[in-house]
Amino acid sequence: MKPYLSALKKRGFELETTHLTDIKRIEKLVTILAIALSWAHLVGKWLAEQRPLKINKHGYHAKSIFRDGLDYWQYLRLNLSHRIQPLLQCFHLWPEAIDSRLT
């Protein structure tokens, strides 16, 4: 559970910076973030199949699978004109992210 909380907070989506207090808005935001977290994790898993994650000297991965997926998604979004094909590949993972949140 802890990796998911850190993904929602400082190490990922920075949920705490929204300063929301209305419970309905928080529920909607957490639902959207849960789907985004699933998608970033799926993209990270897909990337790990393409190329292994870097391992630091202490034996742990340099990044989490989630962080790698999120960073890749942001990279594609910022370089959209040059990266349309990889972006489309990420969109193919979208239905799986939705299904994993609904079951």
pTM over 0.85: no
DSSP one-letter code for 17: G
Domain edges within the chain: 2-102
Question: pLDDT tens digits, residue range 10-52?
Answer: 666 777 777 778 889 888 888 888 888 888 888 888 888 888 8
Mean pLDDT value across the chain:
76
Residue 43 neighbours by CB under 8 Å, 6+ apart: 68, 69, 70, 72, 73, 90, 93
CA 55/CA 25 separation, integer angstroms: 39
> What pLDDT, on a 0 to 100 scale, did the predictor assign at position 65?
82
Residue 75, Ramachandran bin (φ over 0: left; ψ between -120 and 50: alpha; else beta) = alpha
> What pLDDT, on a 0 to 100 scale, did the predictor assign at position 8?
65
Number of Cα atoms under 13 Å in the Cβ half of residue 52:
5
Name the residue type at position 45: K
